[in-house]
Amino acid sequence: MESAEVARRFLNFFEEHGHLVVPSASLIAEDPTLLLVNAGMVPFKPYMLGQRTPPSPRMTSAQKCVRTPDIDEVGKTARHATFFQMLGNFSIGNYFKEQAIPYAWELLTRSEADGGFGFPEEKLWVTVFHDDDEARDIWHKQVGVPLDRIQRRGMADNFWSMGVPGPCGPCSEIYYDRGPEYGREGGPIADEDRYLEVWNLVFMQFERGAGQGKDDFPILGELPAKNIDTGMGLERMAAILQGVDNIYETDTLWKILDRAANLTGAKYGRDQRADVSLRVIADHVRSGTMMVSDGIRPGNEGRGYVLRRILRRSIRNLRLLGGEEAGLMHELTAVAIRTMGEQYPDLVRTAANIHTVIDAEEESFLQTLRTGTAIFDAAVEETRRSGRPSLAGDQAFKLHDTYGFPIDLTLEMASEQGLQVDEDGFRRLMKEQRDRAKKDAQDKKTGNLDVSALDDLLGRSGGQVEFTGYTDVVGEARLVGLLVGGANVPAAGEGAEVEVVLDRTPFYAEGGGQLADHGVIRLGNGAVVDVHDVQSPLAGLIVHRGRVRSGEAQAGDTAFAEIDIDRRRAISRSHTATHMVHAGFRRALGESAAQAGSENSPGRFRFDFTASGAVPVSVLRDVEDEVNDVLINDLDVRAFHTSLDEARAMGAMALFGEKYGDEVRVVEVGDYSRELCGGTHVARSGQLGLIKVLGESSIGAGIRRVEALVGIDAFRFLAKENVLVAQLAEQLKTRKEELPERVSGMVTRLREAEKDLERLRSQQVLAIAGQLAADAGDVNGVAFVGHRAPDGTGADDLRKLAVDVRGRLAGRPAVVMVAGVPKDRPVVVVAVSEGAKERGLKAGALVGVAAKTLGGGGGGKDDLAQGGGANPDAVPDALAAVKRAVGAA
């Protein structure tokens, strides 16, 4: 039974029993405490907490999930994976244990011909929470499971929560007995390799607080209603139904694994190390594909860091198997898209965008491996010189953070050199960095507020703050919540920094690339709050951040909200301009030019999009001309709501990776642009006045950024540019239209003159090579040359001089050291002849001696090495130190 069929049967069964089938939510979690959706119930959490009204009291889903805490175990075991799909059925205050348990048993044991999974009853075991007699009785008395196949377990095993504050409760797990060949008798408490968990039924009754581990947290109280949350791992179920021993041999992962084996020449099942690499590749390619499809981009923080790590581990394991050429990830990504496309059609629709992102990351990391290896070699040399047995944790962290080296790559390469790595130091620095990144990302949205305080505000606002800003710029409201320093307060006086929640507001919260509105909130008692930021930390909640200008703000007071209309209009112009530029680039470059981010600020906007390389200037000019022609036509700008399917049918662009509900808002500029968007816009295209594209640049692998001006800012820029051109034309005594040719000629002549100077300088430096060789001293039988070149001599010339002098000393053991100060920082080059190498003298080690004296580092090969430092005054000392090192050899 294929994985897609497993999902279909599960969803069909619960749909037949009155459950609403809910599509999988994005992997990007709405919950600010989570980087990624890590459990099937995450999208249902607001319903379980009573923060939102569910679309149905009974729901079912096949949810995409990513977990990475055990990423190092991926491939080593039969169960660990980063991406997985969780099948679940949910009841929000509708039914509880007495129905959830029989539902699970019926679906598992119903014959395949009747739409079930066909499990033999005698193969199934059950566990319950240690004091949950109710669940035990339902299993035994109602379902008929013998008592000897029902086992009790403690809180660590049979009490479920997400690991963060939220819903929790006792659970009952169902296990499948794979037979004695997989382990010993005794049920799940004896052997969880033989008895494989297939389904977890969670009886959500309580809300937990903050705490560590699986059992060290407080129970805050009962939930508003008893809920059911179940989870069946699709991959694990597929493994059982397909008769394979692990999830990597199931249909979806096996196709990727098998293709990776073909591309690298590896044979699965022959070598344990190769098997682990193939499993890592299969899992990580699928995970990366799914994450990119949801709009996550590789980066050094948060979700981007998780994605980058996953993709780079794939590439690294391909190299371990001998696959070093570029393009392998493209092949494997294509397999993942085909394999998962039946369940997630958006993968096929956005395939070009997915390939652009992953291909660029592959190219970037392959370059990283080439450059980072040289840095690693230098770190190893420094470690050996210092006599340490381990590569320092900060060096490993720098390799990772600056050069993108995975720690497992550093560990392996260090082991090959006979060295260890200070992993504790590395992981401490990594944790500090991740904690900072996670806190920064969360603070942007939550303003350092406790999530429970946000939940309370959402509850006070009725679960949804009404946004009136599409039609109104002012409006009456009620101040339902007031926070100072993250805590709910009844009042705040003049000068206090506050977070204000109104029951309705015209203020636009930052989102979709559009900056937040500014303005004022005037309260009924005369107090005034200046608003400088607006955020939506939780879905449905709008928080106004500001400062009490005068009076005392009080919760419960009436309010009059008024936005800065000039700022709103300028931002709306930028947002509409972004849509038009997006449409222009897709016309010019094709559908692969998908928006990957934007910022719409007053009079200025930036637009990020996927592209394999730089955009030609001619394309920038053509897009600019095209959108300005559209402005002149003064097209109507219209916004309306419709279904997602209807919006796509009419050609509306859904931004790559964005999350959309069943009903969406479409913004169209005549017939030129049609896009799904929740932002604010102008009424007619002519209101933009003018769009001026300033240029484009790379902001990351596969991502380009265009910056542009709109409206009066564009006019002012062109006016200033016109004055500048006129001044240049006057100074150069030429006409404006002849300026490019005139300046180009001047630049060409200047470059030719610089080359002539460089050749002359190089000739002067090399001219003394013969004299240096003739004056070589004897140090313990080794011809030694130590020379300081004139300041300003470049590193290339220093190398040429050292090699030239060494060549003139052919046939003799010789060490040549040349030092100089090209740009305020000393550089040293050491060249060692074959005869000197035979005496144990190595250029890399001698450069290390010099670099240490100069306050820096360096490295290279045994015959030629280069280093540098920060102290030019120490050059004489460095020359002397190398000479002593030669004498001591």
Q: 609: which DSSP letter?
A: E
Element (H, E) at 239: helix 234-241
Distance CA 866, CA 1 (A): 61
Distance CA 805, CA 746 (A): 38
Distance CA 137, CA 293 (A): 45
Judge whether 531 and 519 are in contact, CB under 8 Å.
yes
Please count the other Cβ atoms lying within 10 Å of the Cβ belonging to residue 565. 12
Structure tokens at 705: 């950024």
Q: How far is CA 858 from CA 77, 426, 513, 833, 868, in A?
A: 41, 22, 44, 19, 6
Distance CA 458, CA 530 (A): 22
Q: 389: which DSSP letter?
A: S
Task: Report the SS3 class of residue 150.
Answer: strand
Burial of 224 (0-12, 13-18, 19+ CB in 10 A): middle
Length of the chain: 889
Beta strand segments in 253-320, E: none
Distance CA 702, CA 764 (A): 45
Q: Which residue has the tokens 């112009």?
A: 573
Annotated binding residues, written as ranges, equal 575, 579, 677, 681
Annotated binding residues for Zn(2+), written as ranges, equal 575, 579, 677, 681
Distance CA 719, CA 656 (A): 37
Structure tokens at 117: 């999974």
Residues 6+ apart with CB under 8 A from 806: 814, 816, 831, 832, 833
Residue type, 601: S
In the sheet that 673-676 helps form, which strands lie side by side, from edge to edge?
A: 637-643, 663-669, 673-676
Distance CA 642, CA 831 (A): 73
Q: How far is CA 67 from CA 80, 249, 287, 538, 850, in A?
A: 9, 20, 10, 22, 48
Distance CA 131, CA 154 (A): 9
